[in-house]
Structure 1
Amino acid sequence: MSSGIEVRQAHFPGRAPIEAYGNGGFRFAGMSHRGSLLCLPSGIYGWEATETAPFSGKRLLKVFEEADSFKFFLFGTGLELRRLPKPLVERFRSLGLSCDAMSTGAAVRTLNVMLSEERPVAAALVAIE
């Protein structure tokens, strides 16, 4: 018997600065989201990555699908800065993209500045508790 409830992947169809982060999620556009985020030119998407697995999640493939719509990619890896895996760095380089890893807090601040300057930026933000 079907409950009639449709479960959808989280998606906000637009760009928005991150208003707050912590407690396992983010606030943006007057809404809150629990979990990690991908902030792309096509919108803001929920993402499966965690602090213990910051580079995982099949949705990360969406970043590469939109690679022609941004030049800078910020990777917020949680509370601590973590090095990006070499194959991931090489994939970004092969597409001519700048990719910088930093703590999630630093990535949020940098993303917000770059959005306010209307720069071609995207980000992967790992939620922190």
Structure 2
Amino acid sequence: MDITPMIPSDRQVIDGFGPGQFCISGQWRVGAVVVLPDRTQAWAATDAASLTLDDFAPVLAAEPKVEILLLGTGPTMRMIPKELRKALRDQGVVVEPMDSRAVCRTYNVLLSEGRRVAAAMLPV
């Protein structure tokens, strides 16, 4: 089922992915990305194991505030340290780690529901 018609045209949607890249609103982007409802940007993160709170600065600075962060940890789901999850939660962001393919499937659904969602994805 194609839900993209239910998403306002000024919003960023995840159209697909390929080896090392993501298609966001019709534009292919190589490497890791942060997708916010109103923009997409390159993400300097390279490995889920080395993520710090600073890596999430674009998400934490977003207005309106992001409530749910879908964290794509690459080809397989990897957990992040409890301390990092807590630090994000303390800033009002619930982080949901999953493999990046799952993020591609989930982001548009939450966006279509009007949720304040962002995606931060490492490539598959």
5 Å matches for 1:54-93? 54=48, 55=51, 59-66=55-62, 69-93=65-89
Give how far 1:56 is off.
6.0
**Cα distance in structure 2, aligned partners of 1:84 and 1:42:** 26
> Match for residue 117 of structure 2?
121
5 Å matches for 1:106-117? 106-117=102-113
> Match for residue 33 of structure 1?
29
In structure 2, do the counterparts of structure 1 residues 58 and 89 end up closer, same or farther at CA, with 3 Å as the change threshold? Answer: closer
Q: Which runs of 5+ in 1 are unaligned?
A: 1-13
In structure 2, do the counterparts of structure 1 residues 57 and 97 end up closer, same or farther at CA, with 3 Å as the change threshold? Answer: closer
Q: After the TM superposition, which parts of structure 1 deviate over 3 Å for at least 4 consecutive aligned residues?
A: 56-59
**Cα distance in structure 1, aligned partners of 2:76 and 2:110:** 22
Q: Deviations over 1:52-81 (max 9, x none)?
A: x12269553222222752211110101111
Say which structure is richer in helix.
2
> Match for residue 22 of structure 1?
18
Equivalent pairs, count: 113
Is contact 2:52-2:84 (8 Å) kept? no
Identity %: 33
Is contact 2:24-2:40 (8 Å) kept? no
Opposite residue 121 of structure 1, the aligned amino acid is V
Root-mean-square deviation over aligned CA pairs: 2.1
Opposite residue 106 of structure 1, the aligned amino acid is A
**Cα distance in structure 1, aligned partners of 2:58 and 2:115:** 20
Asked if residue 104 in structure 1 is aligned to residue 100 in structure 2, the reply is: yes
Opposite residue 96 of structure 1, the aligned amino acid is G
In structure 2, do the counterparts of structure 1 residues 94 and 56 end up closer, same or farther at CA, with 3 Å as the change threshold? Answer: closer
